[in-house]
Amino acid sequence: MPSRTYIAFGVALSLLAPTLAGAAAAAPKKPPAEDPEIKMGREAHEELLKSGIKLIRDPKVASRVETIGKKIADIANDNPINATFGSSRHVRYDYKFFVVDEKAVNAYSLPGGYIYVTKGLYDYVQSDHELAGVLGHEIIHAAHHHVARLQKEANRLNMQMMLVALAAMLSRSADALNVAGGLQYLAIQKINGHGQNAERDADHAGVILARKAGYNPVGALTVMERFARDEKARPDIEQGIFRTHPPSRERASAMIAQIGGMGLPVNRRDVTNAIRASTRTAEAADARVHEVVIDGKVMFRSASPERAKEAAEQINRLLDENLQINEVKKSGTEVTARRRTIISVRPDDTALAQGVSAEAMADQAYQVLRTALWKQFLEEN
């Protein structure tokens, strides 16, 4: 799986190096007609188009991204969030959203409010809440002027490196040359450290933006947790000072703490395609039956709507706690998990089952739940 720039903007920095350097040298005496960062982003976007980047024109896809993005962007414009990295200088941007015809799972932003997601990422997210988490993150990169800050740090370090290299050349000292080489590594470490701080700021403020826009911030968490799962599946290469982003696992842990601090529950099934138990009503003989359904299959039928609802809620709580197949047990007419009773078949339940025994009903509930858990395990691994 390719590295993800949700979360990153190395592309933006490489595109903007010339324009940022020029803007820094110009230093106009009176306010320009166009905000410098908007100009940088616009010119970089034009360069992307000239380079042959293909955009998705499907109205359904483009409209979904733009609708969610604009809703979050309006919050960013009307309710600025203080930056922990970059700058809290508030600029109202006319955010623009694009879907790139690329399979890689990526998202990135340019200064001035140009936001991009790839079709790969569009297909990767499992809900509007997850897409909102990604877009909120990218909007913060622009709103908090992260690229400009990183370029400023790079220019400062480049000046230091140039002075040391000049001193080394003049002295022709092996020690001075070693110092110059060491400074290069120090510069890499510092810039990547700043990049990681930008990611943390975008994660934190992006969660706040998504919530204020009416989306469940758990969506940002579940995307990050899947990134962490995918990273775990790849060979573990220690990047050291070359790491440009904090590990996804570390970022997911920070999000859990942040969402908990907001007083919100972390219900992953509300924002993903993960299996979930639900209830529905059906007619059987002359009676109304209340069914517990999971993964499209009937797990249990009860004469009581309250018991059916309680069973579904109990199952979903366990699923949110990462219930495993081997934790589901059956004993007689009961199905349990982690010492909690999920299903307990009663005589009034069997009365609706037309000759099916209580043990057979419990066995059906047991088998349906285990099959759903196995299917989910296969999809995740």
pLDDT score at 119: 97
Q: Average of pLDDT values for 8-24?
A: 49
Query: What's residue 1's pLDDT?
Result: 39
Q: Is 99 exposed, middle or buried (0-12, 13-18, 19+ CB in 10 A)?
A: buried
The percent of residues above 70 in pLDDT, for the chain, comes to 76
**Interior/surface letters 68-96, b for 16+ CB within 10 angstroms, e for the rest:** bbbbbbebbbeebbebebbeeeebebebb
> Residue 73 above 60 pLDDT?
yes
The CA distances from residue 211 to 215, 216, 217, 331, 367, in Å, are 5, 6, 6, 43, 38
Hey, which of 175-179, 346-350, 375-379 has the most confident mean pLDDT?
346-350
Secondary structure of 251-313 in the HEC alphabet?
HHHHHHHHHHHCCCCCCHHHCCCCCCEEEEEEEECCEEEEEEEECCEEEEEECCHHHHHHHHH
| Residue bearing the bigger pLDDT, 292 or 320 | 292
pLDDT of residue 264: 95
In tens, the pLDDT along 344-368 reads 999 888 887 777 899 999 999 999 9
CA–CA dist 333, 344 (Å, integer)? 6
| Lowest mean per-residue pLDDT among 110-119, 157-166, 264-273, 352-361 | 157-166
Residue 229 confidence (pLDDT): 83
Averaged pLDDT for residues 265-274: 88
At the second CATH level, the architecture of 10-268 is 3-Layer(aba) Sandwich (3.40)
Gyration radius from the chain CA atoms = 27
Name the pTM for this structure.
0.73
With contact defined as beta carbons under 8 Å apart, do 340 and 327 qualify?
A: no
Mean per-residue pLDDT, 164-177 = 50
Q: What is the mean pLDDT of residues 162-184?
A: 49
Structure tokens at 166: 């000049």
Is a pLDDT exceeding 50 seen at residue 152? yes
Q: Are 86 and 12 contacting, i.e. CB atoms less than 8 angstroms apart?
A: no
DSSP output for 316-349 = HHHHHTT--GGGEEEETTEEEETTEEEEE--HHH
What is the crossing angle of helices 146-171 and 174-212, to 10°?
Answer: 180
- Average pLDDT for the chain: 82
What would the pLDDT profile of 298-314 be if each residue is shown by its tens digit? 999 888 899 999 999 99
Please return the burial class of 176, using the count of CB atoms within 10 Å of its CB with bins 0-12, 13-18 and 19+.
Answer: middle
Distance from C-alpha of 131 to C-alpha of 263, rounded to nearest angstrom: 22
Question: Among 212-221, 269-278, 305-314, whose mean pLDDT is lowest?
Answer: 269-278
Average pLDDT over residues 324-350: 92
Residues of the chain with CATH 3.40.390: 10-268
pLDDT tens, position by position, 190-211? 555 668 889 999 999 999 999 9
CA dihedral 261, 262, 268, 272 (to 10 degrees): -140
Encoded tokens for 144: 């908090």
CA–CA gap between residue 318 and residue 313 (Å, rounded):
9
pLDDT at 10 over 50: no
